Amino acid sequence: MLRAASLKSRPAYFGRNCSTTFGKDLMDGEFFKNKPAPIVFRLVEHSIHGRGLALKPIIDQIESFNILMADGQPQLCSRTRNAELFRLAIGGHGLFGIITAVQLRLFRRRKVERVVERRQIDEMPDLFAQRVKHGYLYGDFQFATDSKRDSFLRQGLFPSYRPVADSTPLTANPTRFNPEEWERLTYWSHKNRRLAFKVYSSRYLATSGQIYWSDFQLSAAYIDNYHQALDRKLHARHPATEMISELYVPRPKLPAFMNDARRLLKERKANVVYGTVRIIEADTESFLAWARKDWACIVVNIHIEHTPEAIAHEAATFRGLIDLALALGGSFYLTYHRWATWQQINSAYPQMNEFLELKRKYDPQGRFQSDWYTSLESARG
């Protein structure tokens, strides 16, 4: 069960056998509407974030939760009750129990205007700061991925969203990509990146000035199992997928990281399909916080064929990106892949040994496991 704590007149509930019942005036209503509650619980366990310009990870929006422990007993956790477990389970990647109910802090959705600009990576630290200062709610920098061009990781689109008066009319029939267009764009992003970015940029720039409800712009079309059809269309010799990773650096060091990453990815001939830069406010509450500082968050998706050689090659590429972030005082997200070395993990998360000891304290028989957890223990030795 999930309950909206801060909007008593229109509560929203989640349980393991129910869906959301958000009122139309609640923030993220479209995103959560009719989604099974376990999806939301996974978001809590992995301490997710989005495109908010002045937001912390999801722990900042959680009042309390219920969790089923390894001994079969339920516990209520909040900042004042079972506080240690509260800090451990949010962002604890499911290792401490099964979350069965969450009480969230919500705020009312607002109308926003989308503002889309072409920008350079060197401008982004100042531009993000300006958007925050002027009250914009969301934004990210979607960078060019054609490694054959000078724009690779240097240029991109910067959509951001500023609040407008509720009396402002919504854009009728707003321009957006439909599933068929996404499918074509996905093909071009693998076959002709220059064309893909040209089409994507042209369409996205045309949406500048459109007015939405704030939750409307958080959703987009997604085609399940898209890569199976893409492999057939590309006549791929081997099945393939995109592997995601997220790196974090202090915001002023974003241009330096992107320049370093550009060199590394070109040297290793990495097949970058999509990437974006977001910002996050520091998380001072969760035990295994990935947002230890006010980071710039760099999301990279690399196309990988499912062969031992290709996987090993890109695993080394991702480790190289982690090293670049660490060298600038940054970090990385733990569970997208299992390729980080123990030295890298311990450098980015010096509390990891204590985290694993607390895992054994709350789950002495090791009932809650994952592939990532077993690989972590193996890397630890």
Task: Decide which of 327 and 381 is more confident.
Answer: 327
Domain coordinates in residue numbering, the chain: 2-104, 110-135+157-234, 237-350
pLDDT at 105: 86
Contact 33, 43 (CB under 8 A): no
Q: How far apart are CA 279 and CA 53, in angstroms?
A: 6
Concatenated DSSP letters for 191-252? Answer: H-HHHHHHHHHHHHHHTTT-EEETTGGG-----TTHHHHHHHHTT-SS-EEEEEEEEEEEGG
Closest C-alpha among 79, 67, 22 to residue 41:
67
Q: How far apart are CA 206 and CA 173, in angstroms?
A: 13
Q: How far apart are CA 152 and CA 259, in angstroms?
A: 10
pLDDT digits (tens, 9 = 90+) for 285-343: 999 999 999 999 999 999 999 999 999 999 999 999 999 999 999 999 999 999 999 99
The confidence band for 17, taking pLDDT boundaries of 50, 70 and 90, is very low
End-to-end CA separation in angstroms for the chain: 39
Place of tokens 């982004």: 124
pLDDT digits (tens, 9 = 90+) for 148-204: 999 999 999 999 999 999 999 999 998 888 888 888 999 999 999 999 999 999 999
Pair of tokens at residue 374 = 């077993």
pLDDT at 8: 37
Contact 253, 119 (CB under 8 A): no
Q: How far apart are CA 100 and CA 17, in angstroms?
A: 10
CATH of 2-104, one of 3.40.50.970, 3.40.640.10, 3.30.465.10, 3.40.50.1950: 3.30.465.10
- The architecture CATH gives domain 237-350: 2-Layer Sandwich (3.30)
Please determine whether the domains at 2-104 and 237-350 fall in the same fold group of CATH: no
The confidence band for 37, taking pLDDT boundaries of 50, 70 and 90, is low
Q: What is the mean pLDDT of the chain?
A: 89
The confidence band for 224, taking pLDDT boundaries of 50, 70 and 90, is confident
The confidence band for 221, taking pLDDT boundaries of 50, 70 and 90, is low
The confidence band for 216, taking pLDDT boundaries of 50, 70 and 90, is confident
Q: How far apart are CA 2 and CA 288, in angstroms?
A: 23
pLDDT digits (tens, 9 = 90+) for 236-272: 999 999 999 999 999 999 999 999 999 999 999 999 9
Q: How far apart are CA 35 and CA 203, in angstroms?
A: 29
pLDDT digits (tens, 9 = 90+) for 88-143: 999 999 999 999 999 988 888 899 999 999 999 999 999 999 999 999 999 999 99
pLDDT at 177: 83
